[in-house]
Amino acid sequence: MAAHVLVFPFPAQGHLNSMLKFAELLSLSGLHITFLTTEYHYSRFCLHSQTHARLSQRPGFWFRSISDGLPDQKLRSAARLLELYESLTNNSSSLFRDFLISNQRQETQQYSEDGWPRITCLMADGVMPFAMDVAIDLGVPAIAFRPSSPCSVWSAFCLPSLVEAGEFPFPEEGDLDERIHAVPGMESFLRRRDLPSFFRKARDTSDSGIRLLYEVTASSTRANAFILNTFEAMDGTVLSHIRTVCPTTYAIGPLHTMLRRMSNSTSRNSASFRDEDRSCLTWLDKQPKGSVVYVSFGSLAVMTDEDLMEFWHGLVNSGQRFLWVIRSDLVNGVEEEGSPSMSAPPEVAEATRERGCLVAWAPQEEVLAHPSLGCFLTHSGWNSTLESVAAGVPMICWPFFSDQQITSRFVSQVWKIGLDMKDMHGRDVVERMVRDAMEGERAQELKKSATAMAEKARESVEEGGSSYMDFQRLVHYLNSTGS
């Protein structure tokens, strides 16, 4: 029987993006794939991305969807992520069980009536323990994929040690620059402020965010294997720590670089929920080499009106050219009509017309690979970080939540490929950071380290490279689930 992998991401942009790439890679290696997502996100992805139509044509590739249990479309906005998470856990768990049971019913037959084979392995997003539990309960091998940064994953594994060492909860009004010692390998640079921002408010381990972290971490150790989107040359130390708790950990990134290498076609793999504005590529073509600051805060981060204005003034005052993705729900998570440039002061709007380009959503991988790019002002989402790493573009990090706080610390202190703007606000800070990343000696050092890291990323996906080899080992394991 051919191996048939059910790939089930958490329905958020960053998670779908990396898991769809992974699904295509597995398909290119000859495995049967079913990509399962929620109905609402499936319809958005079908509407805005051509990848669905392309992959649906691939023999042995199926799309399926189930309800996320939410009645109202608005509830899925960036600001209501926790509600989506809870609804999935409470409502979609039983739907997922029914889905898997109906597929597994053909005890002796290889195929169901419509030619859809039995699933031989689940590859679930690691932030959905319920999916893992259902599969384990039904005797289907389960693998956990975590689309987050490995450094955040390892620090979450160390949460019990933090509690034991008295380093969590943080004292009320305590100094956020205080060092954290209970995460092996990070003693010399990790501070309270580098842990997820919800740690700052959590008073004990019953906090909902902390409980979630415990559940997610525990479920990873129940999985038959653990997959991370990274490569040894960048995350070797952290990976060796993670392997002390999850011995079968595969590091198979950067996934988008691996996919580009393994697929001979020029077709793009995008799970975008929004229409990409490709006019910014034409604008980039007209800018000098290395001259543009790309600004994007991913799909979930939100900011206040005031923050938006401070960023805007800071960018303009830096005197640099900039390409800025302003999502329609970037300000306070609320969908806005019309362009925010309407409300900018005249001198800012004028400077933006001269040397700026604003779009609602960009083809980010292509933007980062464009020769005009000079640096990336980012929220430090893990996909954005890896896309910047692979393109050799230095970063300015303004982390918003979750894994982003620790990722930005690694960017600045461990990999030295960017600057950390965590917890800093105001136009003067933005201007100074942009100048430091774009002009002078500091900028040259950052560019040199970023270029070297990009080269290591490329080597890791070449034949014989660490990610390439881990991927081959993983495919071998997955094939064994079909025999």
Phi-psi region of 68 (alpha: psi -120 to 50; beta: other; left: phi over 0): alpha
Task: Report the C-alpha gap between 370 and 380 in whole angstroms.
Answer: 19
| Subset of residues 429 to 448 that bind ligand UDX, contact rule: CB under 6 A | none
To ligand UDX, the closest distance from the beta carbon of 300 in angstroms equals 4
**Contacts (Cβ under 8 Å, ≥6 apart) of 145:** 7, 9, 18, 19, 22, 123, 124, 125, 126, 227
Q: In terms of CB distance, is 10 or 62 closer to ligand UDX?
A: 10
Residue 217 is a binding residue for ligand UDX (CB under 6 A): no
Q: How many residues bind ligand UDX (CB under 6 A)?
A: 26
Within 10 angstroms of residue 42's Cβ, the number of other Cβ atoms is 19
Residue 147 is a binding residue for ligand UDX (CB under 6 A): yes
Residue 322 is a binding residue for ligand UDX (CB under 6 A): no
Q: In terms of CB distance, is 202 or 362 closer to ligand UDX?
A: 362
Task: Report the C-alpha gap between 77 and 121 in whole angstroms.
Answer: 31
Residue 372 is a binding residue for ligand UDX (CB under 6 A): no
Q: Map residues 262-281 to x or -, x wherever contact with ligand UDX holds by CB under 6 A.
A: ----------x---------
Residue 381 is a binding residue for ligand UDX (CB under 6 A): yes
What are the CA-CA distances from residue 133 to residues 93, 96, 322 (Å)?
9, 11, 46
194 labelled catalytic: no
Q: Which amino acid is at 236?
A: G
Residue 387 is a binding residue for ligand UDX (CB under 6 A): yes
Residue 17 is a binding residue for ligand UDX (CB under 6 A): yes
Q: Map residues 281-300 to x or -, x wherever contact with ligand UDX holds by CB under 6 A.
A: ---------------x-xxx
Buried/exposed 74-85: b ≥16 CB within 10 Å, e otherwise: eebbbeebebbb
To ligand UDX, the closest distance from the beta carbon of 399 in angstroms equals 8
To ligand UDX, the closest distance from the beta carbon of 461 in angstroms equals 17
Collapse the DSSP code of 66 into the 3-class scheme (helix H, G, I; strand E, B; otherwise coil) and give the result.
strand
Q: Which one is catalytic: 32, 68, 125, 235?
A: 125
Q: In terms of CB distance, is 14 or 314 closer to ligand UDX?
A: 14
Interacting residue with ligand UDX among 100, 153, 316, 325 (CB under 6 A):
325
The per-residue DSSP string of 138-196 comes to: TT--EEEEE-S-HHHHHHHHTHHHHHHTT-SSPPTT--TT-B--SSTT-TTT-BGGGS-
Instruction: Check the CA dihedral 165-166-169-172 and report its sign.
Output: negative
Q: Which two tokens stand for residue 15?
A: 């998670």
Residue 37 is a binding residue for ligand UDX (CB under 6 A): no
**Segment lying near ligand UDX (by CB under 6 A), choices 9-17, 103-111, 163-171, 449-457:** 9-17
Residue 44 is a binding residue for ligand UDX (CB under 6 A): no
Q: Which one is catalytic: 4, 15, 32, 370?
A: 15
Instruction: Provide the CB-side half-sphere exposure for 341 (13 A, CA).
Output: 17
Q: Which two tokens stand for residue 296?
A: 């994007």
**Segment lying near ligand UDX (by CB under 6 A), choices 136-144, 328-336, 400-408, 454-462:** 400-408
88: DSSP letter: I
Are 446 and 416 in contact, with CB atoms under 8 Å apart? Answer: yes
**Contacts (Cβ under 8 Å, ≥6 apart) of 181:** 165, 167, 187
Within 10 angstroms of residue 304's Cβ, the number of other Cβ atoms is 11
15 labelled catalytic: yes
Q: In terms of CB distance, is 152 or 219 closer to ligand UDX?
A: 152
Task: Report the C-alpha gap between 396 and 378 in whole angstroms.
Answer: 6
To ligand UDX, the closest distance from the beta carbon of 256 in angstroms equals 8
**Segment lying near ligand UDX (by CB under 6 A), choices 14-22, 96-104, 187-195, 305-313:** 14-22
Residue 194 is a binding residue for ligand UDX (CB under 6 A): no
To ligand UDX, the closest distance from the beta carbon of 138 in angstroms equals 28
Q: In terms of CB distance, is 6 or 127 closer to ligand UDX?
A: 127
DSSP lists the bridge partners of residue 321 as 292
What are the CA-CA distances from residue 258 to residues 249, 262, 306, 460 (Å)?
18, 6, 40, 9
**Segment lying near ligand UDX (by CB under 6 A), choices 235-243, 316-324, 356-364, 441-449:** 356-364
Residue 384 is a binding residue for ligand UDX (CB under 6 A): yes
Q: Map residues 223-262 to x or -, x wherever contact with ligand UDX holds by CB under 6 A.
A: ----------------------------------------
Collapse the DSSP code of 414 into the 3-class scheme (helix H, G, I; strand E, B; otherwise coil) and give the result.
helix
To ligand UDX, the closest distance from the beta carbon of 179 in angstroms equals 24
Q: Which two tokens stand for residue 270?
A: 């995008």
To ligand UDX, the closest distance from the beta carbon of 409 in angstroms equals 14
Instruction: Summarize as ranges the residues that interact with ligand UDX (CB under 6 A).
Output: 12-15, 17, 147-148, 272, 296, 298-301, 325, 361-362, 364-365, 381-384, 387, 402-404
Active-site residues, by number, are: 15, 125
